[in-house]
Amino acid sequence: MLVLTRKEAEKILLPTLGVTVEVLRIRGNKARIGIDAPAEIPVVRQELSGLKSIEFTADVPASVQLSRLLRAVRQRMDRAALSLNLLHRRLEECGDSEALQLVLDVFRELESLDRDAGEAVESSSSPVPRALLIEDDENQREMLGGFLRLNGFDVASSCDGQDALDYLSLHAPPDVVLLDMVMPRRDGPSFVRQVRATEGLSHLKLFAVSGTDPASLGVTTGVGGIDGWFPKPLDVEHLVQVMTEEVGPGAALSVAT
């Protein structure tokens, strides 16, 4: 075992594998680590290492490989979109209208690429249900997202309601949205109201995953509110069962507007 000492913002490179490990933040006895690796190299938390890993092999059907490739492409696009959103906000402060238009043009190209890639996969295989997971706790976000992927869902994630709205402005609507209720910047109830009032998003399947009482937040279940409420601590198997019945393989993935 190679043992190294690194400070914040310092990196460890594995050039043969194309992997970069960076120390993002150190607080007390915990360090936040960023890992940039090629899509074909699986990176999992230790507690997930015993689960079935995802690999590209010769005996994997082409449709499955396309779905995994689409997932990898969308993950890279999400990173690009976040950076473009930040750039757009700074350009707004500067009042550079020409540069703002260029950023919007890139947004549209990303949206078009996402749509074309999704259509290509859908035309060659059974649709893979798409879920947007909104959770500000990083550990819970990674664990639940990993469990959903292992159960056949294509998962994108956001750290709060505003981040999720930025995502939805650039991508085709997912089949289902899972959201925490207590989050920074834009919380769950505010996100629900905004989605229900937005043309093209009002039909979204919204499932709340929260330890709070829906009545205390003024959130209704049904038309104009959320479609289901799953309390914490979460029964993930029950959640996946309900999601699969709603939008999983064999279910009708298109929702009438």
Which CATH number covers residue 207? 3.40.50.2300
The residue among 248, 220, 232, 236 whose CA lies nearest residue 131 is: 248
- C-alpha triplet 19, 140, 130: angle, nearest 5°: 80
Q: Is residue 5 part of a domain?
A: no
- Based on the domain organization, do 136 and 174 belong to the same domain? yes
- Based on the domain organization, do 181 and 78 belong to the same domain? no
Q: Is residue 54 part of a domain?
A: no
Q: Which has the minimum average pLDDT: 66-70, 171-175, 192-196, 205-209?
A: 66-70
- Based on the domain organization, do 136 and 237 belong to the same domain? yes
- Based on the domain organization, do 159 and 239 belong to the same domain? yes
With 50 as the cut, is the pLDDT of residue 131 above it? Answer: yes
pLDDT at 62: 53
Give the count of alpha carbons within 13 A of 138, CB side only.
4
pLDDT at 222: 79
Confidence of residue 250 (pLDDT cuts 50, 70, 90): very low
- Based on the domain organization, do 67 and 171 belong to the same domain? no
129 contacts: CB under 8 Å, gap ≥ 6: 152, 153, 154, 175, 176, 243, 244, 247, 248, 249, 251, 253
Q: Which has the minimum average pLDDT: 16-25, 176-185, 191-200, 230-239?
A: 16-25
pLDDT at 254: 32
With 70 as the cut, is the pLDDT of residue 83 above it? Answer: yes
- Number of domains into which the chain is organized: 3
With 60 as the cut, is the pLDDT of residue 249 above it? Answer: no
118 vs 22: which has the higher pLDDT: 22
The residue among 72, 8, 13 whose CA lies nearest residue 42 is: 72
Confidence of residue 136 (pLDDT cuts 50, 70, 90): confident
pLDDT at 93: 81
257 vs 198: which has the higher pLDDT: 198
- Based on the domain organization, do 137 and 242 belong to the same domain? yes
Q: Is the peptide bond before 233 cis (omega within 30 degrees of 0)?
A: yes
Per the structure, the complete domain to which residue 39 belongs is given by 11-44
Side by side, the strands of the sheet bearing 30-36 are 11-14, 19-27, 30-36
pLDDT at 81: 77
- Based on the domain organization, do 86 and 64 belong to the same domain? yes
Structure tokens at 136: 């500000």
pTM of the model: 0.51
